[in-house]
Chains A and B, each alone.
Chain A
Amino acid sequence: NAGVMQNPRHLVRRRGQEARLRCSPMKGHSHVYWYRQLPEEGLKFMVYLQKENIIDESGMPKERFSAEFPKEGPSILRIQQVVRGDSAAYFCASSPLGEKLFFGSGTQLSVL
């Protein structure tokens, strides 16, 4: 059973471009979470999704950020018109029933 798969591991974008981060949960897991980690900081919750539904997006910035978890395929975190302040590590986690979380290896986003 493969773990939570995130890609890409590293993503470099120029200001104003779009960033798409992908997350495939562990097999059998229907709950997906996205977190952002700034250097020397803990993880900040962004959004919690189940298949085709956003359950809690209280941690998502109101503009430029969106997330989806379609019926088929990975969960996508999309950041439009990236700015330097978006540079961070973005972690995805999945769980089977909303209990223990299993984290992916993260995507390090660098905005030039």
Chain B
Amino acid sequence: ELKVEQNPLFLSMQEGKNYTIYCNYSTTSDRLYWYRQDPGKSLESLFVLLSNGAVKQEGRLMASLDTKARLSTLHITAAVHDLSATYFCAATPGGGADGLTFGKGTHLIIQP
């Protein structure tokens, strides 16, 4: 059974700082997803990482995937308040989007 673990689960940081959220998964998964969720809202897709060594960047967020280590990271550079949200990673054993298994999420608060 695929398990996905994120850490930290809660992170409070100041604007301008850098930080990394880690996502480990327990069995083979060829792709890894990152989503953002604002309170009371739906999930917004951030990144889909499809292969080992994949790196994607969007603004202050950068995601990477190491399939050998079964690890993905979401790096935040020079954080701003607008990035405050809950970030989820998700993996799938089947290689497609079937039955994504989500981590518990990282609740990120960025203080001015």
Contacts and interface: CB of A to CB of B under 8 A. Distances in A.
Interface of A: 31, 33, 35, 40-45, 48, 55-56, 58-59, 91, 93, 95, 98-106
B98 A42 contact: no
B59 interface: no
B42 A48 contact: no
B99 interface: yes
Contact of B104 (A42, A48, A56, A58): A42
B42 A104 contact: yes
B98 A56 contact: yes
Contact of B97 (A40, A43, A100, A104): A100
A40 B1 CA distance: 22
Interface in B90-112: 90, 96-105
Task: Sort A-B residue pairs by CB-CB distance and give the 3 closest, nearest first.
Answer: A42-B102, A98-B96, A103-B43
Contact of B88 (A42, A58, A98): A42
A100 B45 contact: yes
A98 B97 contact: yes
A55 B99 CA distance: 10
A43 to B, nearest CB: 5
A82 to B, nearest CB: 22
B42 to A, nearest CB: 5
Contact of A91 (B43, B90, B103): B43
Nearest to B104: A42
A74 to B, nearest CB: 17
B108 to A, nearest CB: 14
A31 B98 CA distance: 9
A45 B100 contact: yes
B48 interface: yes
Nearest to A57: B99
Nearest to B45: A100
